[in-house]
Amino acid sequence: MEQTDLRAPTLAAGVRPVTPQQRAARAARNGGKPTLEFAERVPYDAYVRASTLHRLQQPLSDDPGELSFLMVSQIMELYFGLTCHELREAQRCLRADRVWDALAPLRRAALHLEGLNAAWKGLRWMTPADFNRFRNLLGEGSGFQSAMYRHLEFLLGLRDAALVRPFRRQPEVYAELRAALAAPSLWDDVLALLARCGFDLPAEVLARDAAEEHQPHPAVEAAWVAVYADGGGPDNHLRLLGEALTEVAEQFGDWRWNHLKAVQRSMGAKAGSGGSAGLAWLQRSMARVVFPELWSARTAM
């Protein structure tokens, strides 16, 4: 899915750029106090769309706890999208052999995932009794059906074509997911970079169908062992890349673990709302490792 340029709509919404000199002049006129009068819409709301955001919550019950569940879910959706944005930026840098430039979006992605993990704390109050007060009203609605989460998984290299099927009756979403599934993952771009840097990776790794999930390969593991054996100085950009990727993978793994614990706390081992086995499904999904050779290589270092 191509990332939309967010800047043009912002300017069209009434945000007026100002210079440092204009800000200083305004502060002098205000005597250091904030501006309270505006000719148009409040600039903060024009930029953040805060009034729109706060109209997007439409609980299905009168239970006061449901709003927490709904808003935390929406916050996670925003974090999914933000993390995808950063990973795509990292991909663009890696494809241009700009390894150093890829580190910043990867570090931001890890921090966004850290924020995503913190969102689970907003649901730690929820017991099965609390969830049951509104769960039936959700019908078959389930986080399993998050299209943006699928984009995140695909970018991280977790590929399963069957998981695109629920979106077939949403043509635009379906097309974007199909395109994401067919495109190289971040890990695919990392492996291509390693090959361009002289590491001997076989065609079965580099030329496989991108829609198929990468399977760990000893040649990839050996490449990372060699990268880390070259020392930890600032000139070893590949090692810095490995550590940035490891942080992303670790934070994503923490999110999956926190998800499992939240489900266990709020509904135990009951069947999932979306038709899965719930807890058992999540436990099986955690066996699929993100950037697997980065972890296995540590045994051989």
Known binding residues for substrate are 135
CA proximity to 227, closest of 199, 205, 252, 200:
199
How would you label 77-96 residue by residue, b for 16+ Cβ within 10 Å and e otherwise?
eebbbbbbbbbbbbbebbee
Tokens (6 digits) for 256? 């999956």
Binding residues: 135, 259
Q: Is-contact 291 249, C-beta < 8 A?
A: yes
Q: Kindly tell me the burial class for residue 151, based on how many C-beta atoms sit within 10 Å of its own C-beta (0-12, 13-18, 19 or more).
A: buried
Binding residues for heme: 259
All residues at 6 or more sequence positions from 100 whose CB lies less than 8 Å from its CB, including other chains: 237, 240
How would you label 16-50 residue by residue, b for 16+ Cβ within 10 Å and e otherwise?
eeeeeeeeeeeeeeeeeeeeeeeeeeeeebbeeee
End-to-end CA distance of the chain: 37
All residues at 6 or more sequence positions from 287 whose CB lies less than 8 Å from its CB, including other chains: none
Measured distance CA(199)–CA(176) in Å, rounded: 33
The CB density around residue 249, as the number of other CB atoms within 10 Å, is 21
